[in-house]
Amino acid sequence: MATSKRYDRIAFVASASAEAQAALAQLTKLYGKHAAADADVVVALGGDGLMLQTLHTHMRSGKPIYGMHRGTVGFLMNEFTTHDLHTRLAAAKESLINPLLMRATDVHGAVHLHHAINEVALFRQTNQAAHLRILIDEHERMAELIADGILVATPAGSTAYNLSAQGPILPINAALLALTPISAFRPRRWRGALLPNSAFVVIEVLEGEKRPVAAAADHDDVRDVRRVEVLSDKTISMRMLFDPGHSLEERILREQFGS
């Protein structure tokens, strides 16, 4: 939906690149600089890595995040310009995304809780393939997957690592998650599954002492996991702002048609 509120107080964040820092200097000179706690909106200057970091930092704040591309990859970013930023923000369209919550139990029984905006992924830690058991909503769906790993991706993350692993692209407003194997050996022809975003996904590591596995929620890693639980956290809704005609929905559609 289109936003009608003016965002007068802007907090800027930027990556460490020279390009992003130069943009930061230009924009703060033109529009001032507010602390994030006092701002109406956070404007991130960089690439998708900075956007993910900014979303994590402000995950529970309810503040809208508007990105401008001053980095390497900019799928989640708007085009950069210093012109009439207040008008662009007022006209921007809002996309709401829910993060994944990962609950990983390691070999020592310690429990690690992390949120992911793109995906939760499990990887083999050595040269031996991981052996994994998959349960969906407490029902076993696959007794043994032999692969380099597996991931659970959100619609927002479906064009990231999930796409590189041959997973499906999901429309941003689809109530779905992608469950995608990473270099599956057996069953060799299994390409993954589409799950409702209400699904409770459990991945158990088989033969973990011999075939250790790590888990990652975006950039938060846990080594030597034995059990990983994943669900969409509906208690958190993050607000991303996009210029009209360049919404996340439109970008995902373009990606599917190669445009």
Is 233 annotated for ligand binding? no
d(CA 133, CA 227): 9
Q: Which of 40, 48, 137, 233 is catalytic?
A: 48
Element (H, E) at 49: helix 48-57
CA dihedral 213, 214, 216, 222 (to 10 degrees): 140
Is 162 annotated for ligand binding? yes
Is 161 annotated for ligand binding? yes
Query: CA nearest 11: which of 54, 49, 53?
Result: 54
Give yes or no: 48 in active site: yes
Element (H, E) at 28: helix 18-31
| Number of other CB atoms surrounding residue 219 within 10 Å | 12
Is 164 annotated for ligand binding? yes
Is 78 annotated for ligand binding? no
Is 49 annotated for ligand binding? yes
Is 159 annotated for ligand binding? yes
Assess contact for 47 and 73: CB atoms under 8 A: yes
d(CA 60, CA 81): 28
d(CA 117, CA 78): 18
Is 163 annotated for ligand binding? yes
Q: Indicate the length of the chain as a whole number.
A: 259
**Binding site residue list:** 48-49, 118-119, 148, 156, 159-164
Residues labelled as active-site residues = 48
**Binding site residue list for NAD(+):** 48-49, 118-119, 148, 156, 159-164
